[in-house]
Amino acid sequence: MTAPYLNPAVRHDAVLLFDVTDGNPNGDPDAGNQPRQDGETGQGLVSDVAIKRKIRNTVPLVKEGDDRYGIFVEAGTALNTHIDGALDATAPAKGKRDPAAAQRWLCERYFDIRMFGAVMSTGEKVGNQRGAGHVYGPVQISFARSIEEIAPIEHTITRVTPTKPADLESGKVSEMGRKWTVPYGLYRGTLHYSAAKGAKTGVQAEDLEVLWRSIEYMFEHDRSSARGEMKLCGLIVFSHASLLGNAPAHALAQRVRIERTEALDGKPAREMTDYRMQVDLENLPAGVEASVLVDLWTAS
């Protein structure tokens, strides 16, 4: 029997929990790469774009060599190359290019188009439109927000060689730089899957399996000194019994509660176990099933 969270014909709502230790989970280029932060509450933020980038980078590792799991938004590749290639591949011999056919072709071959959607109206003009139009993805991810206020620290760093030969000749032997870190932060975000949109892009059970697996491993293959130590702490999926859904998403998300442990006694949190996670699985709304795919609190 297929697990409920793998059914592409019904709605799914999920809660993601991840943390960072001595790293910058998502720098803001408009603020000198300082960790993103709510200016009023001080809570840390990680954009949906950053999370989807990590998923995109992990999918090819999960489905290595599978032509159905290509990545459309990929570093070093111009998007119009993919779009124009699809228009050529689906055009009949000496016939007109068909944007709708090209869109279907792209959905079949690129996981991130099929799941996240894409703006593909930047290619060559075909009739009254450009490229292959827009695809509205069935998977939407929120900004993740830290449970508590974060306290970013700016560090001065040095490099033992200058950049320019002229600097070396003038006697300069090192260069200074800066980097930001968050001592610790536990972040929470949500993910929503629309079965109605998934039917239009051709989502299958295997696609959902790849999505959840890629989320589970996305920090394991995104290591860098700038991001410090990051890990997925929790992944809870609420699966509905229908395309429309059987309960409001916010009501389900509220069933996942994060609380400080008594041992903290007012001190700043510095590790995952300074919090406890509780998932209320009692009296779930009719037609809703909960699947706890990752729970490091229980595992530890």
- The alpha carbon dihedral of 294, 26, 111, 109 has a sign of negative
pLDDT grade, residue 173 (50/70/90)? low
For residue 34, what are the CA distances in angstroms to 63, 145, 182, 205? Answer: 34, 15, 10, 39
Mean pLDDT of the chain: 93
The Cα–Cα gap between 108 and 95 comes to: 22
pLDDT at 210: 98
Across the chain, the runs of DSSP E, i.e. the strands, are 12-23, 27-28, 34-35, 43-46, 117-120, 125-126, 129-130, 133-136, 139-141, 144-149, 153-159, 175-193, 229-240, 256-260, 275-279, 288-295
Q: pLDDT, tens digit, for every residue of 114-146?
A: 999 999 988 777 667 778 889 999 999 999 999
Could you read off the pLDDT of 35-48 as tens digits, one per residue? 999 999 999 999 99
User: Mean pLDDT throughout 70-88?
Assistant: 91
pTM, rounded to two decimals: 0.92
Can you give the pLDDT at residue 207?
98
pLDDT value of position 77: 87
